[in-house]
Amino acid sequence: MIGDMLSKGEHDIVLLQEVWSEKDHLSLKKKLACSHPHSHYFKSGVIGSGLAIFSKHRILDTFLYRYSLNGYPYMAHHGDWFGGKAVGMAVLSIGSLTANVYVTHLHAEYCREKDSYLPHRVVQAWELQQFVRHTSAGADVVILGGDLNMHPQDLGNRLLRSYTGLRDSYLETAKFDGCEDGMTLIADNPFTCKKELVPFEKGIRIDYILFKGSSKTDIFCDSMSTTKGCVPDHPFPYSDHEALTSELRLESHTPPEVGKDEQSKDQDSAGKVAELVDIVTEARTEVKVGLHCAERKRCTAARTGVMGLALLFLELAIATVSWLALGAEQPFPRTSFYLLAALCFAILLTTSLLYIFYTMELKSLQGAEDQMRLAVGSLQEKLRGFPLAQPHNVQRKPPVGDPEE
Amino acid sequence: MIGDMLSKGEHDIVLLQEVWSEKDHLSLKKKLACSHPHSHYFKSGVIGSGLAIFSKHRILDTFLYRYSLNGYPYMAHHGDWFGGKAVGMAVLSIGSLTANVYVTHLHAEYCREKDSYLPHRVVQAWELQQFVRHTSAGADVVILGGDLNMHPQDLGNRLLRSYTGLRDSYLETAKFDGCEDGMTLIADNPFTCKKELVPFEKGIRIDYILFKGSSKTDIFCDSMSTTKGCVPDHPFPYSDHEALTSELRLESHTPPEVGKDEQSKDQDSAGKVAELVDIVTEARTEVKVGLHCAERKRCTAARTGVMGLALLFLELAIATVSWLALGAEQPFPRTSFYLLAALCFAILLTTSLLYIFYTMELKSLQGAEDQMRLAVGSLQEKLRGFPLAQPHNVQRKPPVGDPEE
């Protein structure tokens, strides 16, 4: 269905987030061969990543960043872990311009009141902004499209937009035609679980097209639209989310006389940096909550494992003592003895695997928290006007030593 | 020991790869607090990542990329999987310049003749060059230090150097003082397994400091040295590898009149691009070998799992039939019955976990292969002088549509 819509060739770039099989990608590729000759499907996780890009413009290069945290493998009914959530980047050549196009899908929110995945989603948003910021320096235009699974004012969303300077198509567009408030997960959709939407009965906006230009190129959103429920002449919609379309206009311009540094410094007004410090601090708090939670879970796994081991030893001790004292007679019925031993081994194996998994979760959370702390320090330093306000007349640097063990 | 050497403060930037505990990092941090006030320890995996950076210059920002492939968890005696191998980036402010400093540690090579980890290491080298290339566009200077676990002319090394344009300190240095041929893993080292070095009896060079400048900055290696075995006045060396030190000189210069694009185009002479096509094609072949191997292993896991399941059903069927035919009598001795059932469950659980793991390995290998295929296509396109040779006078672009599902 989506293939039919897209094959009309009205869109330069198409970003998809839920192509869950190689077969689906190949059939889409075949259908869009004429309208979108260039495509890439990003592979990750067990069944994913689900991310695909189709383009009229040549794809020069691709790169995939897998999020370090992405739910739990034993939450198989949620399935996010198996999807291997990630952010894919494609470097496109649009005429003489280089566009970095990002497509991503963040961990779903299953219960807003008690969202146990919030720390994971915040770390994903953190890594997403890092990835976009660090990989887009050479690009003339940056476009990010994705199912962020976050409301417009959610922490992760603010973090992403503030840090990268990406602007939201829906807020920037000159014209809009689509669902109320730009919603993409609407209650009318038959694939949507209405219970999960409460208290947002009408729906929520969780899919986004963000963009920014560069010193060489301006970018504007002339119009934006969403699909509105069912496919024309069919009783069902394209997908569980409404599809977004943005019409973006690029304008090349010569960079202003001032250097890039000065220009970006002007843009980074103290107010913006101060706001960013607040947002990163808020994110750190959320990650710390996740840290406590992961530590508690790891501790439970360790304790259960020790109990399983103790049970095994106890059983063996009783059996040995009775065997020594009473001769060859078994104090346990044989069946119970073996079943109990098997249970102990099962507990030991499961808790060991969980312990390893939670340790990795902890490392990733700690790593993100460390990076956030460093970032807050840098931002505060910037806020003090130091060291970015240093004179730019240092032409020759002293030697830099660089030992390595 | 290494702390004592470094605390003299002769080095601007220190990159370490085997700091395996938070405690070691904190004790180093304390020791180097005066000489290197800025530091960052990258956390990853179960016990790693081991990567740390100490610097005299302010660290503005950090970012970690975990390699998608990194050995197997059941090869616990090799330990690489538990180390969570990755590449860490730190953005340093050196005077008015921005330096991107990378530190990494690739999967070890345990047997050169039959190196089952080669596809993983090649994919790591591929991801490393992608990471460096895409994140360093805004940097004035790029420095990479690490234990690459590859000989100088190994595929991964050529891939990294050719694609990123990074230059090898050892080959570029004006002066060198250290082990013969710049070796860093020497036979004399008491921590080294001499058997693993055969047929390189004297040792090998597997640790590197690579660097490159930018259109704004030139970089030169004035001198380089390695430690030579034991710590002065001690009977043991600093580590299992010799430490490298490079003295790098930075020189700012105004960018030439031609644009950055033109300049890089000149550098990318057809010969270099053709060489790169060959190297990436070679890497693709290696990844394909890994793909076949992973497919075979996954197939074996699946087959073993099915056999375990069949055995379980067979056992249950025999027990049920005998129970129905002979009344309450058990055809098996009870003990054997339960032991066999437990064995079947153990087989099923293990093969399921292995199947999931190998599927993820396959996805990562396929993903890397897809990216390499796309890269070869782009490079060949470039070789044909198209589309990079397009005129640069396109000032206004047509609108770009960007739908997303």
- Write the pLDDT tens digit of every residue in B40-54: 999 999 998 999 999
- Those residues whose C-beta lies under 8 Å from the C-beta of residue A282, and which sit 6 or more positions away, are A155
Does the pLDDT of residue A84 top 50, yes or no? yes
Pairing mode, strands A217-226 and A175-177 = parallel
Which residues partner with A43 through β-bridges? A49
E strand or H helix at A126, and its extent? helix A118-135
Q: Which residue has the higher pLDDT, A201 or B352?
A: B352
Picking from A243, A249, A367, the nearest residue to B404 by CB comes out as A243
How far apart are alpha carbons B166 and B148 in whole angstroms?
14
Contacts of A350 in chain B (CB under 8 A): none
Band of the pLDDT at A331, cuts 50, 70, 90? Answer: low
The dihedral over CA atoms of A313, A318, A319, A323, expressed in degrees to the nearest 10, equals 140
- Write the pLDDT tens digit of every residue in B166-194: 999 999 999 999 998 999 998 888 887 77
> Is cis: bond before B387, omega within 30 of 0?
yes
Picking from A63, A94, A403, the nearest residue to B134 by CB comes out as A63
Residue A113: what pLDDT? 87
Residue A268: what pLDDT? 55
Mean pLDDT of A168-173: 96
Residue of B nearest to A84 (CA): B360
What predicted TM-score, i.e. pTM, was given to this entire model? 0.91
Residue A106: what pLDDT? 97
Q: Which position has the token pair 């987030």?
A: A17
Q: Which residue has the higher pLDDT, B261 or A221?
A: A221
Residue of A nearest to B390 (CA): A96
**DSSP conformation letters of A341-379:** HHHHHHHHHHHHHHHHHHHHHHHHHHHHHHHHHHHHHHH
Residue B397: what pLDDT? 45
How far apart are alpha carbons A384 and A402 in whole angstroms?
29
Long-range contacts of B378-387 (CB under 8 A, 24+ apart): B378/A58, B378/A59, B378/A60, B378/A61, B379/B273, B379/B276, B379/B277, B379/B280, B380/B277, B381/A58, B382/B268, B382/B273, B383/B270, B383/B273, B383/B274, B383/B277, B387/A58, B387/A93
Token couple for B2: 């290494």
Q: Which residue has the higher pLDDT, A254 or A45?
A: A45
- Compute the Cα dihedral for A48, A50, A55, A57 and give only its sign: negative
Give the residue numbers of B marked as catalytic. Answer: 241
Q: Which position has the token pair 């038959």?
A: A190
Q: Nearest CA of chain A to the CA of B272: how many Å? A: 17
The DSSP code for B188 is T
How far apart are alpha carbons B73 and B397 in whole angstroms?
51
Which of A25, A36, A105, A241 is the catalytic position? A241
CA distance to A4, A171, A212, A220, B139, per residue, from A251 (Å): 31, 20, 12, 8, 26
Which of A92, A223, A405 to mutate to probe the B interface, most B CBs <10 Å? A405
Lowest mean pLDDT among A258-272, A354-368, B74-88: A258-272
| A374:B48 CB<8 A | no
CATH number belonging to domain A8-253: 3.60.10.10
Contacts of A14 in chain B (CB under 8 A): 402-405
- Write the pLDDT tens digit of every residue in A305-321: 999 999 999 988 988 88
Mean pLDDT of A339-355: 92
CA distance to A151, A197, A290, B360, per residue, from A113 (Å): 14, 11, 15, 33
The angle, 0 to 180 degrees and rounded to 10, between the axes of the packed helices B118-135 and B334-383 is 50
What distance separates the 2 farthest-apart alpha carbons in chain A? Answer: 97
Domain boundaries, chain A: 8-253, 274-385
Does the pLDDT of residue A392 top 50, yes or no? no
Contact B244, B226 (CB under 8 A): yes
Picking from A246, A251, A403, the nearest residue to B11 by CB comes out as A403
Average pLDDT of chain A to the nearest whole number:
88
Q: How many CA atoms lie within 13 A of A196 on its CB side?
A: 13
- Give the distance, in angstroms, between the CA of residue A6 and the centroid of all CA atoms in the same chain: 25
Contacts of B62 in chain A (CB under 8 A): 370-371, 374
Contacts of A146 in chain B (CB under 8 A): 404
| A397:B95 CB<8 A | yes
**Sites in chain B below the pLDDT cut of 70:** 1, 255-268, 327-332, 386-405
- A120 is a catalytic site residue: no
* Measured CA angle at B75 (ends B73, B79), to 5 deg: 80
Which ipTM value was assigned to this complex?
0.90
- Of A165, A229, A170, A223, the C-alpha closest to A203 is A229
| B246:A401 CB<8 A | yes
Q: Nearest CA of chain A to the CA of B131: how many Å? A: 8
Mean pLDDT of A136-142: 95
How far apart are alpha carbons B336 and B311 in whole angstroms?
13
Contacts of B13 in chain A (CB under 8 A): 400-402
How far apart are alpha carbons B366 and A334 in whole angstroms?
50
Residue of A nearest to B226 (CA): A403
Which of B43, B92, B402 to mutate to probe the A interface, most A CBs <10 Å? B402
| B356:A138 CB<8 A | no
* A-B contacts (CB, under 8 Å): 290
Tally of CB atoms within 10 A around A112: 15
Residue B265: what pLDDT? 52
Picking from A245, A338, A356, the nearest residue to B403 by CB comes out as A245
